[in-house]
Amino acid sequence: MKNQKKFIGIGTFLLEGADTYTCVSSALTTGYRLVDTASVYENEREVGKAIEDSGISRESIFVSTKLFAKRKGYKETIEECKESLKRLGLSYLDIYFIHWMPRTYEDLLDTWRGMEYLYENGYCKAIGVCNITLYYLDKLLKDAKIPPMFCQIEVHPFLQQEVFIEYCRANHIEVIGYGLFAKGLVFENETLKVLAQKHHTTVANLILSWALKKGIIPLVKSKSVNRIKTNFTDNFEMSAELFSDIRNLNDGLRVYRDPENNPYV
């Protein structure tokens, strides 16, 4: 994949205060250009400050944030986006997401109308959905005036989301994957450890290279400046054989909430 490193994003889930600022600053210095946060993370101010202090032009950085998970509907969506922009100190977002599925499709569609307004009026360059079921994504594509451009979902070797990703690809939706390391379970897996050793790499870079081979945008996060750097710089072009070896690990395991059966709200 040409220039694949630029498609690795830095995530900020569970980061607070100075850790958020250090993580984002280190990532931007390393070369990351996608920074992902959310209203519910309560660290948008620190993310915005790190971007401001980086000295990198705003146009060169992709910033995504998300509607607070318990907010819904046209009016609240617009209001919440404006509040996120204030906290970030930005005049526009590159991607604004619905963070979680509302309980009903009617609420989802009303919320999406607010997202369309934000896009049409220049508050964000793109709009998308997170943690959505394929059933509701398909319904939304049929009813939306402006279809989702990005979708953020849990993806890792034990939950490879092949059908979901293929559906998105067919409908021109970019997939951003979170939870690539499955809350640390990948580092305990003997198959992955053997494959990493065989290919003279780490399990982390094995997984990130696999994600890039899948054609998704992986999000990573760390408090370690060194790991932030190696997660970005030490990836490689994966062979079809190695990709197939990792594919065999897919067993449907989720380590985060299942949007099909466990709505956030």
Residues with active-site annotation? 41
Which residues, 6 or more positions from 101, have their beta carbon under 8 angstroms from its beta carbon? 108, 131, 132, 133, 136, 259, 263, 264
Residues 160, 174: Cα–Cα separation, whole Å: 15
One-character DSSP codes across the chain: -TTGGGG-EEE-TT--HHHHHHHHHHHHHHT--EEE--GGGT-HHHHHHHHHHH---GGG-EEEEEE-TT--SHHHHHHHHHHHHHHHT-S-BSEEEE-S--SSHHHHHHHHHHHHHHHHTTSBS-EEEES--HHHHHHHHHH-SS--SEEEEE-BTTB--HHHHHHHHHTT-EEEEE-TTGGGGGGG-HHHHHHHHHTTS-HHHHHHHHHHHHT-EEEE--S-HHHHHHHHHS-----HHHHHHHHTT-----SS--TTT----
